[in-house]
Amino acid sequence: MPIKDNRIENFSCMVIESWTAAYSDPIRVSAGDPVELNGRQDIWDGYIWLWAKNQDGKEGWIPDCIVSKGAQKTATETYSAMELTCQKGQYLTVEKRLHGWIWCSEQSGQKGWVPERNLQTINRS
């Protein structure tokens, strides 16, 4: 059963398809930070992602649901595009879901996003 976007969860999952992080130094924004959009967008598993530049000049993909709707675009919540490299068969702890991605942590303490389609729920209370 999929979890709702931005709902805080805490259950285990298993990686059913390995994933390699695409960016070593991804974009990050804090709630209230201005974001500059260039009009480029992509659809990932039915969700809209926007190419954005943060106030430090770092560029990357951010989910459209965290960008304010007004003329002056700002981040409505804190977000990091950090992805988690993981291997098939590895167990992770799910913390949050957003736009088809799951924020996970591994036993070593590393955290990051993994595509939801690459994971299978193990236990859920």
* pLDDT single digits (tens) 36-82: 999 999 998 999 999 999 999 999 999 999 999 989 999 999 999 99
What mean pLDDT is predicted for residues 90-95? Answer: 94
Query: Does residue 36 sit in the same domain as residue 52?
Result: yes
The structure tokens listed for 78 are 């804190």
- Which among 21, 93, 81, 94 has a CA at the least distance from the CA of 54? 81
* Same-domain status, 57 and 15: no
User: Which of 6, 7, 22, 16 minimizes the C-alpha distance to 81?
Assistant: 22
Q: Is residue 89 part of a domain?
A: yes
pLDDT reported for residue 10: 74
Reported as half-sphere exposure (CB side, CA atoms, 13 A), residue 95 has a value of 11
What is the number of structural domains in the chain? 2
Which pTM value belongs to this model? 0.87
pLDDT at 7: 54
Which pLDDT score, from 0 to 100, does residue 85 have? 97
